[in-house]
C-alpha cells in the first residue's frame, strides 16, 4: 500500500456503511484520519456498525439529517448508493465539502496497476474475464478483481503489490465520487439510459461514466465498444490511446468479430462459437477482455483457454449443469425485461423459461418478439405471473404453467422440456416479492436443479 499523507489529521465522515463504507473507514483510520461513521440501520441489526464501534470508531446511527455536519468535517466519503439529492449531501455540497467515493481512496493507495471497467451492461462478466486472462500463466504477482463486483476495493487496495494487477468493476455511482482516479487501462462496455432516478439526466449519467478516462494520458489505454456512433464519439474525449472492440467489424484496430471468428488486429484468436458463455452480448464482453489481455501481452493460448472454459458469472446467464440432454442456466440477475431479452437471444436451442417477480406496475408486451422467437414453454411465478401470461399468450406460447416460486418451477420446467432444450431462469423482474435479493433466488434455483438431477453445479 502506498503510504500517503493526504488524510493524516483530517476529520472525515463516512456516510453509509455496508462493505464499501466499512472498509473505507478502516483504511482512513490507517491513513491517520479521525473517522466518524454514519448509517441509518440501528445498531442491533448492523454488524458493520457493531464491529467499528468495538474498534473505537465514533459511530452515529439513525436518520442522516443535515445537522450531522455541524461537527465540522474536512471531507465526506459517501457510500455510492446514497443519492446526491438527499438533504445531508445537499448541505455538504452547499458547504463545498469534498465528497469522494471509496473508489477514489482505492486509486490513491493501491500499488498495483489499475484496470477499470464500466458500462451499463456487461461490467461484471468483462471484469471477470479480464482477471482470469491476466492471471493465467502469470509469472509474477497476480491479477485480482474488486469493486462493484462485490469485493470491497479499498480492502483489496491495501493488499496488492506493485507486481499485481487490480481489475476494478466501477459503477457510475462510484465514478461520480472520483477526482484523481487514474486507471492505466479503462474499459467502456456500452452506455444506455440507466439510473436516471439517481443521475437525473442522461447527460449526467454519461458524464459519470466518462470519468473513468478523465485522468488518463497518452501513456494509457481506453478500450471502447465501437458498435454505436455515440460511444465512438465519446472515445474522442479521452487523452489515452483508444483501442476499439466491435462485434460488427466496425474497426480492425483492436478486437473484432468477422465471419464468426474473433480477431485482435488481424490475428485470429478463436471461433466466436467456442466462447462458452452464450449470447452476442457475451461476445462483446469477450472482445473487450481480449483487447485488454493483448495490451498486457497475454498469449492467445491463455485467452482461448479462459474463453472456452469460463461458464459465466454467478447469476448472470450462468451455466449450471447438463443432465439428460438438458442444459440449465441461472440468470437470476435479469431483473428487467432487457436483460431477459438479451439472455434469450443468446440461445439457439428451444428454451423453457422460468420468469416472474416483483410487480413494478408495467406490462410485458415488449417481451413478445423474444418469447415468440425463443421460448417453447414458460413457467411463471411471483406477482407478475399473470401479466407475463398475457405476453406469453400474445407470443403464441401454448404451454404456460405456474409455480409457487423459482425453485418450485424447476421440476415443472423439466416436465415441459425435451433433450436438447435449455432450461433457463431469467425472471425479467426484481426478486423482492419472494426473496431478499436476486442472489438468494438464483441459489435456490441451483439447489433445486441439483436436487432434481442428482448432479452438482459445475464450477
Nearest to 64 by CA among 103, 127, 19, 13: 13
Strands 261-264 and 255-258: antiparallel
d(CA 401, CA 354): 10
Please state the φ and ψ torsions of residue 403, each to the nearest 5 degrees.
-140, 160
d(CA 41, CA 45): 7
Question: In sequence order, what are the residues at sequence separation of 6 or more whose Cβ sits closer than 8 angstroms to the Cβ of residue 351?
Answer: 344, 374, 375, 376, 421, 422, 423, 424
Annotated binding site: 119-125
d(CA 459, CA 301): 21
Alpha carbon of residue 117 to chain centroid: 9
User: Which residue, chain included where needed, has cell 499485481?
Assistant: 164
CB 15 within 8 A of CB 77: yes
DSSP string, 378-408: EEE-STTHHHHHHHHHHTT--EEEE-SSTTT
Beta bridge partners of 169: 117, 147
CB 454 within 8 A of CB 320: no
Mapped onto helix, strand or coil, the DSSP state of residue 359 is: coil
| Sign for the pseudo-dihedral over CA of 78, 80, 204, 291 | positive
d(CA 284, CA 250): 13
Question: In sequence order, what are the residues at sequence separation of 6 or more whose Cβ sits closer than 8 angstroms to the Cβ of residue 39?
Answer: 16, 17, 21, 46, 48, 49, 59, 60, 61
Annotated binding site for ATP: 119-125
CB 392 within 8 A of CB 400: yes
Amino acid at each position: 500500500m502506498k503510504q500517503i499523507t493526504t488524510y493524516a489529521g483530517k476529520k472525515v465522515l463516512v456516510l453509509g456503511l455496508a462493505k464499501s463504507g466499512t472498509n473505507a473507514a478502516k483504511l482512513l483510520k490507517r491513513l491517520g484520519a479521525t473517522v466518524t461513521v454514519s448509517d441509518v440501520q440501528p445498531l442491533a441489526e448492523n454488524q458493520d456498525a457493531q464491529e467499528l464501534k468495538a474498534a473505537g470508531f465514533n459511530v452515529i446511527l439513525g436518520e442522516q439529517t443535515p445537522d450531522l455536519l455541524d461537527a465540522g468535517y474536512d471531507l465526506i466519503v459517501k457510500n455510492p448508493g446514497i443519492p446526491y439529492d438527499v438533504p445531508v449531501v445537499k448541505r455538504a455540497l452547499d458547504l463545498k465539502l469534498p465528497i469522494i467515493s471509496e473508489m477514489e481512496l482505492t486509486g490513491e493507495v493501491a500499488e498495483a496497476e489499475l484496470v477499470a471497467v464500466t458500462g451499463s451492461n456487461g461490467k461484471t462478466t468483462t471484469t471477470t474475464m479480464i482477471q482470469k486472462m491476466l492471471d493465467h500463466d502469470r509469472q509474477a504477482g497476480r491479477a485480482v478483481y474488486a469493486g462493484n463486483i462485490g469485493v470491497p476495493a479499498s480492502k483489496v487496495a491495501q493488499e496488492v503489490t506493485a507486481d499485481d494487477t487490480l481489475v476494478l468493476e466501477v459503477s457510475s455511482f462510484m465514478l461520480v465520487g472520483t477526482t484523481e482516479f487514474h486507471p492505466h487501462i479503462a474499459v467502456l462496455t456500452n452506455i444506455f439510459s440507466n439510473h436516471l432516478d439517481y443521475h437525473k439526466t442522461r447527460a449526467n449519467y454519461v458524464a459519470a461514466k466518462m470519468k473513468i478516462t478523465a485522468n488518463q494520458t497518452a501513456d494509457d489505454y481506453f478500450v471502447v465498444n465501437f458498435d454505436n456512433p455515440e460511444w465512438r464519439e465519446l472515445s474522442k474525449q479521452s487523452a489515452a490511446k483508444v483501442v476499439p472492440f466491435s462485434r460488427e467489424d466496425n474497426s480492425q484496430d483492436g478486437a473484432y468479430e468477422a465471419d464468426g471468428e474473433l480477431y485482435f488486429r488481424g490475428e485470429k484468436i478463436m471461433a466466436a462459437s467456442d466462447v462458452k458463455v452464450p449470447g452476442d452480448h457475451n461476445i462483446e464482453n469477450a472482445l473487450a477482455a481480449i483487447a485488454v489481455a493483448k495490451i498486457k501481452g497475454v498469449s492467445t493460448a491463455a485467452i482461448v483457454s479462459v474463453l472456452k472454459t469460463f461458464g459465466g458469472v454467478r447469476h448472470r446467464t450462468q451455466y449450471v449443469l447438463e443432465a439428460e440432454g438438458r442444459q440449465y442456466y441461472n440468470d437470476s440477475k435479469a431483473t428487467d425485461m432487457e436483460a431477459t431479452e438479451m439472455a434469450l437471444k443468446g440461445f439457439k436451442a428451444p428454451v423453457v423459461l422460468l420468469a416472474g417477480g416483483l410487480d413494478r406496475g408495467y406490462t410485458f408486451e415488449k417481451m413478445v418478439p423474444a418469447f415468440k422467437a425463443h421460448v417453447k414453454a414458460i413457467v411463471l411465478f411471483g406477482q407478475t405471473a399473470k401479466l407475463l401470461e398475457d405476453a406469453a399468450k400474445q407470443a403464441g406460447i401454448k404451454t404456460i404453467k405456474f409455480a409457487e416460486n423459482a425453485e418450485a418451477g424447476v421440476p415443472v420446467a423439466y416436465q415441459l422440456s425435451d433433450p436438447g432444450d435449455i432450461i433457463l431462469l431469467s425472471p425479467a423482474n426484481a426478486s423482492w416479492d419472494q426473496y431478499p435479493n436476486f442472489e438468494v433466488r438464483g441459489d435456490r434455483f441451483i439447489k433445486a436443479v441439483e436436487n432434481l438431477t442428482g448432479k452438482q453445479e459445475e464450477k
